[in-house]
């Protein structure tokens, strides 16, 4: 990426601090008591001599953290992890790549370096699970048996459900998405150009459940702030289209977030779905969905744009549904999310399967912050099941979404299944219903090293 044209005017987007290596992170974490305040894990210390072959499908945030914790918790762990990826991405960093705060190489490690010692890695893709026969079919035609399955393949991004767009052509017609590593890099380049040229910016979320519901809002607010920093805000108009009936559905945080959009002169259009993009004409096609009594009214319209950020529809990976592991009825069935007990994280039909992370069909936000709190519960319950006991550990739906409202400030949204605030943020004297600079420091400087050095090694859970 050649940013030379923009380098001279670039403000300090990191807000004064440089990247942190492992040693500095650990000393900062110890000084600040981060391990204690963001939650320490008691499960890790309890040993278990449970027996059985565990297979983990998907070695992302959830799969790796489970592998690391189980290796420590079980005396004779027999763990196989299946994942075709070469790289482990810290996806929450994509927003910061897309806004020039992180360099692209700061957000990934080789997958090999992240797999815990003692875990057998099959570098392949799962095509089908046969839960009756406890067998997994791989893309290379081989099969793998298991006694206990940890289902953590994340989610599938369905680019094709936005007409006119594909993963391969992402960025064409200046329509970008940070839900992709290359897409995040393209967004940053385009955002800088947009701040020079000016014009109309359109931002959308999507009608399916999607990972980090805050991400589309963050990139919108960062774009606005970046144009202010470049003194070109008056050349830019910005509009935010949400498929939902409100901007954010956690009442403790919503009023301030809506107020910020209003203060920053970004109109919010609700109940609007992106249907397609004509990238050659730079036109976005929308549908407004309204209820008129029993009737559903759908009105189509189109909008021209100069710069666009969109969120693609998402679902559970196809193999999950094809394996009969998804909900078959209810709100979570349409997108194939796994039939998971919301408290124990054990599969509702197959009690030798636990499921967590983005693919789990549970009514909370799909974030790695949620994964961090799910892992100790899923690991404890898996060990109990392996010992022939009932799964008694319970997850309360905790999730967190640090909504970056501008360079230097974050609205740190933490909540549970009841949509009640669950503030674990260390500086409790602050009003956490408002954006805070201290939360920016946590988001930009602490959470990434905490992920790579702590969480996926089974610590700081």
Ligand X SMILES: Cc1cc2nc3c(=O)[nH]c(=O)nc-3n(C[C@H](O)[C@H](O)[C@H](O)COP(=O)(O)OP(=O)(O)OC[C@H]3O[C@@H](n4cnc5c(N)ncnc54)[C@H](O)[C@@H]3O)c2cc1C
212 is catalytic: yes
Q: Which of 77, 79, 83, 220 binds ligand X (CB under 6 A)?
A: 83
Residue among 233 and 248 whose Cβ is closer to ligand X: 248
Find the shortest distance in angstroms from Cβ 234 to ligand X. 29
What's the rounded Cα separation, in Å, for the pair 145 and 148? 9
Q: Which of 29, 55, 56, 62 binds ligand X (CB under 6 A)?
A: 62
Range 88-127, binding ligand X (CB under 6 A): 91-92, 94-95, 125-126
Q: Which of 77, 79, 369, 432 binds ligand X (CB under 6 A)?
A: 369
- DSSP class of 366: B
Find the shortest distance in angstroms from Cβ 231 to ligand X. 28
Q: Which of 85, 161, 423, 430 binds ligand X (CB under 6 A)?
A: 85
- Point out the residue whose Cβ comes nearest to ligand X: 60
Where on the phi/psi map is residue 151: left (φ > 0), alpha (ψ -120 to 50), or beta?
A: beta
The one catalytic residue in 212, 220, 355, 413 is: 212
Query: What's the N-to-C CA distance of the chain in angstroms?
Result: 36
Residue among 366 and 445 whose Cβ is closer to ligand X: 366
Range 159-218, binding ligand X (CB under 6 A): 178-179, 211-212, 215
Binding residues for ligand X, rule CB under 6 A, total 37
Q: What does DSSP say about strands 143-145 and 268-269: parallel, antiparallel, or unpaired?
A: unpaired
> What's the maximum distance between 2 C-alpha atoms anywhere in the chain?
65
Range 390-409, binding ligand X (CB under 6 A): 400-402
Could you give the string, one character per residue 338-367, with x where binding to ligand X holds by CB under 6 A and - elsewhere? -------------------xx-------xx
Find the shortest distance in angstroms from Cβ 98 to ligand X. 8
Report yes or no: 124 and 85 within 8 Å, Cβ to Cβ. no
Q: Does 57 bind ligand X (CB under 6 A)?
A: yes
Q: How many residues does the chain have?
A: 461
Q: Which helix (H) or strand (E) holds 217?
A: helix 215-229
Distances (CA, A) of 209 to 118, 205, 212, 213, 368: 35, 10, 9, 8, 15
Tokens for 144?
A: 């793998």
The one catalytic residue in 41, 114, 220, 401 is: 401
- Render 376-420 in DSSP notation, one character per residue: HHHHHHHHHHHTT----------EEEEEEEETTEEEEEEE-TT--
Sign, CA torsion 35/40/44/46: positive
Range 257-316, binding ligand X (CB under 6 A): none
Find the shortest distance in angstroms from Cβ 321 to ligand X. 12
Three-state DSSP state, 25: helix
Find the shortest distance in angstroms from Cβ 282 to ligand X. 23
Distances (CA, A) of 232 to 175, 261, 408, 459: 20, 18, 19, 44
Segment contacting ligand X (CB under 6 A): 14-22, 148-156, 282-290, 305-313? 148-156
For residue 298, the tally of other CB atoms under 10 A from its CB is 9
Q: Which of 48, 80, 152, 433 binds ligand X (CB under 6 A)?
A: 152
Q: Which of 43, 79, 82, 355 binds ligand X (CB under 6 A)?
A: 82
Query: What ranges make up the beta strands (E) of 246-282?
Result: 268-269, 272-278
Opening angle at CA 126, ends 125 and 129, nearest 5? 175
Q: Does 55 bind ligand X (CB under 6 A)?
A: no
Residue among 191 and 233 whose Cβ is closer to ligand X: 191
Range 412-451, binding ligand X (CB under 6 A): none
Three-state secondary structure readout of 150-214: EECCCCEECHHHCECCCCCCCCHHHEECCCCHHHHHHHHHHHHHHHHHCEEEEEECCCCCCECCC
Segment contacting ligand X (CB under 6 A): 61-69, 277-285, 290-298, 432-440? 61-69
Q: Does 153 bind ligand X (CB under 6 A)?
A: yes
Footprint on this chain of ligand X (rule: CB under 6 A): 57-63, 82-85, 91-92, 94-95, 125-126, 152-154, 178-179, 211-212, 215, 317, 319, 357-358, 366-369, 371, 400-402
Active site residues: 212, 401
């Amino acid at each position: 990426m050649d940013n030379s044209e923009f380098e001279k005017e670039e403000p300090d987007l990191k807000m004064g601090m440089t990247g942190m290596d492992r040693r500095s992170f650990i000393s900062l974490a110890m000084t600040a008591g981060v391990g204690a305040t963001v939650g320490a894990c008691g499960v890790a210390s309890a040993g278990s001599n449970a027996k059985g072959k565990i297979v983990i499908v998907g070695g992302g945030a959830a799969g790796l953290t489970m592998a690391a914790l189980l290796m420590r918790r079980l005396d004779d762990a027999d763990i196989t992890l299946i994942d075709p990826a070469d790289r482990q991405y810290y996806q929450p960093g994509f927003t910061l790549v897309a806004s020039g705060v992180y360099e692209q190489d700061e957000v990934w490690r080789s997958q090999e370096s992240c797999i815990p010692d003692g875990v057998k890695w099959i570098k392949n893709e799962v095509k089908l699970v046969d839960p009756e026969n406890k067998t997994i079919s791989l893309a290379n035609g081989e099969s793998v048996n298991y006694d206990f399955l940890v289902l953590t393949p994340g989610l599938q991004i369905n680019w094709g459900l936005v007409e006119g767009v594909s993963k391969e052509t992402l960025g064409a017609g200046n329509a970008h998405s940070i839900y992709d590593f290359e897409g995040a890099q393209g967004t940053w380049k385009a955002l800088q150009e947009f701040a020079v040229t000016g014009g109309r910016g359109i931002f959308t979320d999507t009608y399916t459940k999607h990972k980090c519901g805050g991400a589309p809002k963050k990139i919108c607010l960062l774009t606005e702030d970046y144009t202010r920093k470049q003194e070109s805000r008056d050349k830019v108009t910005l509009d935010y289209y949400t498929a939902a009936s409100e901007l954010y559905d956690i009442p403790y945080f919503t009023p301030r977030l809506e107020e910020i959009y209003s203060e920053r002169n970004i109109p919010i259009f609700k109940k609007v779905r992106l249907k397609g993009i004509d990238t050659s004409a730079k036109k976005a096609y929308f549908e407004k969905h309204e209820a008129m009594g029993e009737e559903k009214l759908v009105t189509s319209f189109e909008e021209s744009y100069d710069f666009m950020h969109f969120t693609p529809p998402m679902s559970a990976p196809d193999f999950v549904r094809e394996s009969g592991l998804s909900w078959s009825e209810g709100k979570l069935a349409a997108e194939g999310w796994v039939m998971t007990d919301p408290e124990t994280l054990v599969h509702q039909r197959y009690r030798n399967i636990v499921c967590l992370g983005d693919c789990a069909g549970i009514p909370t936000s799909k974030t790695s912050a949620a994964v961090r709190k799910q892992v100790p519960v899923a690991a404890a319950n898996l060990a109990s099941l392996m010992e022939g006991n009932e799964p008694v550990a319970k997850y309360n739906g905790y999730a967190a979404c640090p909504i970056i409202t501008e360079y230097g400030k974050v609205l740190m949204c933490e909540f549970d299944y009841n949509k009640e605030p669950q503030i674990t943020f260390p500086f409790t004297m602050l009003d956490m219903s408002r954006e805070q600079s201290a939360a920016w420091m946590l988001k930009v400087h602490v959470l990434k090293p905490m992920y790579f050095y702590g969480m996926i090694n089974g610590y700081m859970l």
